[in-house]
Chains A and B, each alone.
Chain A
Amino acid sequence: VVTATATACDAIWAAMAALVATAIVVSHLPGTRLARLSALLRRARAARVPSVVLVLGWAWLGWHFFAR
């Protein structure tokens, strides 16, 4: 049974996904002032500590979703 609360939560998640997708598209438009995610990641990767944090976060994400 799908409750109204669950439907509302699903709608909010969907809205957030749409927002992220829109931001990605906007960041690729010519003349936009919104940074691209790839540029932000590349900038973070240029320093050691953010690099390690990003890779550890990635590893945790995989372990959480696929293993445990």
Chain B
Amino acid sequence: VAGVRLGPPARLGAGRAGAGLSPTHRLVAPAALLAAGLSSWAALTDPFTAGADAVTAVAIALCLAVGARGWRRAPALPDSAMAAAPGRWWPWAILGALVVAFELVTFFLGPRADYPTLSSLYDSAAGLRPVKGAFFLAWLALGAALVRW
């Protein structure tokens, strides 16, 4: 376009996709695309159907496969880092215990309409397809983080 001042010429080879990236970084874009595709698929499924089983099983299998690849690697942290306390952990334990306790109370007290559990709250929210897709994507991200750490 006439009159538009262009920036300095690009470095030779800088335009090549993925140039200079590590193999792990090169996988980020395909993995993100795959996660988006799986999440979209999951958003269109209903629980207790073959489609829901299939998309969940595929996601679990993918994460387990990635995890199995790293199984033989050395622990992620050296012993010195393991020994160093990351900070106070007990508040998290109390929070987790509170959530589990209240989940059990609501589960056993019963009817879901009066005593909603986490699952029934999720079911209400996941009635909206985009919300369900977002939940699935978040779950996938957690799985990816767990097998990569």
Q: Which residues of A contact B (CB under 8 A)?
A: 3, 5-6, 9-10, 12-13, 16, 19-20, 23, 27, 32-37, 39-43, 45-47, 51, 54-55, 58-59, 61-68
Q: Is the CB of A37 within 8 A of B92?
A: yes
Q: Are A55 and B147 within 8 A (Cβ)?
A: yes
Contact of B102 among A12, A51, A62 (CB under 8 A): A12
**How many A-B residue pairs lie within 8 Å, measured between CB atoms?**
122
6 more A-B contacts (CB under 8 A) besides A23-B91, A54-B146, A55-B147?
A: A13-B116, A34-B92, A35-B88, A35-B92, A58-B143, A65-B119
Contact B113 A6 (CB under 8 A): yes
CB distance from B148 to the nearest CB of A (A): 9
Among A16, A27, A41, A62: residue with most chain B CB under 10 A = A62
Contact of B142 among A51, A58, A64 (CB under 8 A): A58
On chain B, the number of residues with a Cβ less than 8 Å from chain A's Cβ atoms is: 50
Bound complex: CA A55 to CA B76 (Å): 16
A sample of 13 cross-chain residue pairs with beta-carbon separation below 8 angstroms, ordered by A number, consists of A3-B113, A9-B114, A13-B102, A20-B99, A34-B92, A46-B82, A55-B67, A59-B143, A61-B139, A65-B119, A66-B47, A66-B136, A68-B48
